[in-house]
Structure 1
Amino acid sequence: MSEPDEHFFVVDGRRWRRTDPALPEDVAAALRSHLGRGRNAVKQAKRTGDDDALEAARHRNGLAKHGLGERGPGWWTRPEADRIADARAALAELDGLEAV
């Protein structure tokens, strides 16, 4: 396995993509908050066997991870303005899901 660089870090031999460092801290913090709540929702849905809730929670996690730059196209290959706009769009969508 390759060594970590500025794009990745390794935990227990597994390589993970880093959060986009260009994101404004308030946006990144809000996305991390959604991700944490989504992870808790996944655990709860698995515990109760609620497939619809599990699907919704995984969708939220995916949105948060994409917004943070941890999934999707490598953030280091895209213009910074586009990455920040995508993060803000993901956050707006997540905030909208929470309002429902």
Structure 2
Amino acid sequence: MAEPEHTSDGHFVVIDGRRWRATDPEIPPEPAARLRSLLMAARRDISAARRAEDAEAERDARARVHLAKIALGERGTPWWEQTASQRRQRWQDGLDQRDA
């Protein structure tokens, strides 16, 4: 799969003409892969919950998507406005919440 186009400042990716906040590039490869795995699992769980018409399971899965996207830096305080320690704490918190 081709790498998406980034804005000149690197803060956003452009997909089909729409800007989306980019993942924090400072997340080390292994934690980033784990967070992406958690994100995709939660997205699959949304689909399964919708097929089962299980509103509670869908809410839970959507909450997990939100947590993963915050940990990846795609939501919440922009990663370029955080210190290195705040960025590290953000993605570590995302992994800790899922490991709990």
Runs of 4+ aligned structure 1 residues displaced above 3 Å come to: none
Letter in 1 for 2:63: H
Instruction: Tell me what 2:86 maps to.
Output: 82
> Unaligned regions of 5+ residues in structure 2, if any?
1-5
Give the helix-richer structure, 1 or 2.
1
TM-score after normalising by structure 2: 0.89
Query: Aligned residues, how many?
Result: 94
1:4 aligned onto 2:4: no
Identify which of 76, 83, 97 aligns with 1:72.
76
CA distance in 2, matches of 1:89, 1:50: 28
What fraction of aligned residue pairs are identical, expressed as a percent? 43
Residues 1-100 of structure 1: pairs in structure 2 closer than 5 A? 4-5=7-8, 6-96=10-100
Deviation at residue 4 of structure 1 after TM alignment: 2.2
> Unaligned regions of 5+ residues in structure 1, if any?
none
TM-score after normalising by structure 1: 0.89
